[in-house]
Amino acid sequence: MSDDPIVQMTGIRKDFTGVRALDGVDFTLRPGEIHAVMGENGAGKSTLIKVLTGVHTPDAGDILLDGKSVRFHSPGAAQAAGISTVYQEVNLTDNLSVAENLFAGREPRLGPFINFRAMRRKAKALLDDIGIDLNVAAPLSSYSIAMQQLVAIARAVDIEAKVLILDEPTSSLDRDEVAVLLGVMRRLAANGTAMVFISHFLEQVYEISDRMTVLRNGKLVGEWATADLPENELIGHMLGREAVVLEQIERAAAAHHVADETPLVQAVGLGRKGSIAPYDLDVRRGEVVGLAGLLGSGRTETIRLIAGADRADSGSLSFDGAKVGGHNPRTASARGIAYCPENRKTEGLVGDLTVAENMILAMQASRGWARSIPVARRDKLVAEFIEKLDIRPANPDMPVKNLSGGNQQKVLLARWMLIEPKLLILDEPTRGIDVGAKADIQKLVAELSADGMAVLFVSAELDEVTRLSDRIAVLRDRDLIAVLESEADMTTEKIVDTIVAKGGER
């Protein structure tokens, strides 16, 4: 690792109207290393990456690539110089085949025509090489988002990238797929490809990265070898405060254990064909029930039936002692069931509407269109929740799409807290958001449940599930296989064991 750096950025400064996004940041990348760039949302990670990939031009500072000074004016120029990027959201073409996606723009030719046979052969070889097995002639859309992500990576890898930038590549992958991806990364590193890795999953960062560069508020905090920087110190550097927040929640959640007579939610044999096998699940008032399982295990499908987002075709659901019939999002909201879906952008928020408008949407929907919420009342409620949830910027008239992921999630939470629900259903509320906002949301969940609200809570991070939940429902292969109740069982090991054991049974 003593070789000359392949990328050396020094004193990078980037201003956006009125905001200094990067202020004198240095970044060094050596061949064959996996280098994590860490920081909260808004710390400048994305801007740094965009400067490197030519999306933004820096206002000051130098970039050396292979020792030569470069300045990219377009992503194409950076790519031509050997810097490839794989983004969080797959940007490939859904209705083209896997092979076509892999070779779009550089198809093998036969005279003026595309040689489809050669293309499929090369595509197969490329995917075999990184250890995934797909039908390359099938349209990309026939595969899961996770597989599409791997195809995007395969494409980037094949463009002979000297530098590969992976921006949250694992956020939609399950454990096995993450393992495949990390394996691919190791193989590439061994071949000398330098990689920049951005991820909110600290576990993965520690597993794969050699070095870390930490940013905070657009400034460089420092660079460390991963082995020299324990997790709590890293979080301390990222937050700029001692990371005690997460610890406190643990106690708050453990402090209350409610034994209520009649559960608020009683699902008996509730199921939906092709989506989730019939399951029984109770949720009591003031209780946090976590749902754990791998991606695709049926976590989201389970809660969507209770939320009324999907219609159950078997079993029954009781809420607050009464049988629920004709369940849909509107009647659910009228009963006091709030549902924050997994995908904030496509299912949660209306991007063009303002923060205030998004917040009052559920409340307004329950009043109907004819009874508008009075402006004064609206402004007061919105201001109250912006302050309570510490939404930044504290501007109710800003389009919600301009907010960071964490703040968007808070707006979504505020929307439902406004109608004072009895049951709050959260699907991956902390995915893809920064550590500070994550802690805020976890704290909020603990507080709400302490006030008597029931919470159903899905998270891919087992740590989070075990920390927050009073009971944990474990899912596997679209089947609810166990509910862990005792204190001793509430560990990540126990959850993993349960999933694995059930797998062995079959």
- Note the residues at the interface with other proteins (CB under 8 A): 15, 17-18, 307, 309, 329-330, 332-334, 339, 341, 346-353, 357, 360-362, 364-373, 393, 395, 397-398, 415
Cα separation values, 257 from 251, 272, 444, 446, 468, Å: 12, 31, 17, 12, 12
- 253: number of Cβ within 10 Å: 21
DSSP character string of 332-388: HHHHTEEEE-S-IIIII--TTSBHHHHHHHHHHHHH-TTSPPPHHHHHHHHHHHHHH
Structure tokens at 30: 């050596």
- Give min distance, CB of 185 to other proteins, in A: 34
CB of 15 to other proteins, least distance (A): 8
Distance between CA atoms of 241 and 233, rounded to whole angstroms? Answer: 10
Burial class (CB in 10 A: 0-12, 13-18, 19+), 504: exposed
By C-beta, is 205 or 359 nearer to other proteins? Answer: 359
Q: Which is nearer to other proteins, 118 or 398 (CB)?
A: 398
Residue number with CB closer to other proteins (212 or 276): 276
Separation between Cα atoms, residue 170 and residue 188, nearest integer Å: 17
Do 329 and 309 touch, CB atoms closer than 8 A? yes
Nearer to other proteins, 92 or 353 (CB): 353
In terms of CB distance, is 182 or 303 closer to other proteins? 303
Q: Which C-beta is closer to other proteins: that of 142 or that of 372?
A: 372
Apex 31 CA angle, 195 and 23, nearest 5 = 65
Residue 220 φ then ψ, to 5°: -80, 130
| Residue 95 beta carbon to other proteins: minimum distance, rounded to whole angstroms | 17
| 3-state SS class at 276 | strand
Q: How far is the CB of 149 from other proteins (least distance, A)?
A: 22
The number of residues making up the chain comes to 506
Least separation in angstroms between residue 349's CB and other proteins is 6
> Least distance in Å: CB of 373 to other proteins?
7
**Nearest-approach distance from CB 359 to other proteins, in angstroms:** 11
Cβ proximity to other proteins: between 360 and 455 the closer is 360
Q: What is the spatial order of strands in the sheet that 194-198 belongs to?
A: 83-86, 163-167, 194-198, 34-38, 211-216, 219-225
Q: Which residues contact 427 (CB under 8 A, 6 or more apart)?
A: 299, 300, 303, 339, 340, 341, 342, 458
Q: Closer to other proteins at the Cβ: 33 or 342? A: 342
Please state, in angstroms and rounded to a whole number, the distance separating the CA atoms of residues 21 and 37. Answer: 15
Q: Least separation, in Å, of the C-beta of 167 and other proteins?
A: 24
Which has the closest alpha carbon to 329: 243, 416, 438? 416
Residue with tokens 């049974």: 505
Task: Say how far apart CA 290 and CA 38 lie, in whole Å.
Answer: 28
Residue closer to other proteins, measured from CB, 106 or 330: 330
Shortest Cβ 204–other proteins spacing (Å): 30
Q: Least Å distance between CB 344 and other proteins?
A: 9
What CA–CA distance (Å, rounded) separates 449 from 423? 9
Residue closer to other proteins, measured from CB, 239 or 353? 353
